[in-house]
Amino acid sequence: MNSVLSTRNLSSSQLALLAKSGIGMECYDAILIKLLKAELPEGFDEYIFTSKNGVKGYLKNRVPEAENQKKITCYCVGEKTQAFLEEKGLFVAKMTQNSRELGDFLVKNDKKGPFLVFTGNRNRPELGSKLEEHQIPFREVLVYETHLNPKKIEKNFQILLFYSPSGVQSFVQVNDPKDETALCIGETTAREARKHFRKVVVADKPTTDNVIEKLIENFPTLSNA
């Protein structure tokens, strides 16, 4: 019987690594992302991305001819977001592990915007609140929506993998947490998980790969917790 449920579909290489480690895994997408059509306001050359989905939404709506006339500086949350931006030829001045750290950096930074922040409909307010508190000019543009995709899970799993607060909310919408261990991608997700689960573990770094590494390294302990 599979003992681990991932609330995000994993890549074939990630699944192969888990299988090699003898860990049974099932996956489903607890949330769905819809990219939106948006008009990007003019007058900004400093962009903030708090997720890879924000980058995808920006790319969907960008006007390359207009942007070729200026140098864009990007600030972002997460290594995967940074890698995706750089893959698309964009310069990343600063990457942090979460929005709170990015807000602290921008407050201390000499450059004070104005910033264009690419957001989703369920983005957390920490970054915007920090910028407002310090009167740093910014504007948010909604470029994607996160929709819960609840699924009733009939099997019993020892460990559940969560990658966002929305993923936790989607799971508990139709499932009653029992004694499962919730392994979370970061502290923000863990705070949501602690509302519903007694046993919550956080990956060392907020990436899917690190969630998997944490699972493999600690599987005997987590599965017997």
Both tokens of 28, joined, read: 């489903």
Residues in the chain, total: 225
Given a contact cutoff of 8 angstroms between Cβ atoms, the answer to whether 105 and 128 are in contact is: no
| Cα distances (angstroms) measured from residue 153 to each of 56, 67, 122 | 30, 46, 24
- In the prediction, which pLDDT does 223 show? 67
Instruction: Name 142's bridge partners.
Output: 119
How many whole angstroms separate alpha carbon 201 and alpha carbon 190? 7
Burial degree of 225 (CB within 10 A; 0-12, 13-18, 19+): middle
Question: Which residues of the chain are under the pLDDT cut of 50?
Answer: 1
The domains of the chain, with CATH numbers, are 4-30+149-223 (3.40.50.10090), 33-146 (3.40.50.10090)
The rounded distance, in Å, linking the Cα atoms of 46 and 217 is 39
- How many alpha carbons lie under 13 Å from residue 171 in its C-beta half-sphere? 30
Query: pLDDT digit string (tens) for 137-185?
Result: 999 999 999 999 999 999 999 999 999 999 999 999 999 998 999 999 9
pLDDT the model gives residue 166: 95
Q: Is this model's pTM higher than 0.85 or not? A: yes
Distance CA(118)–CA(71), nearest Å, equals 17
| pLDDT given for residue 1 in this prediction | 40
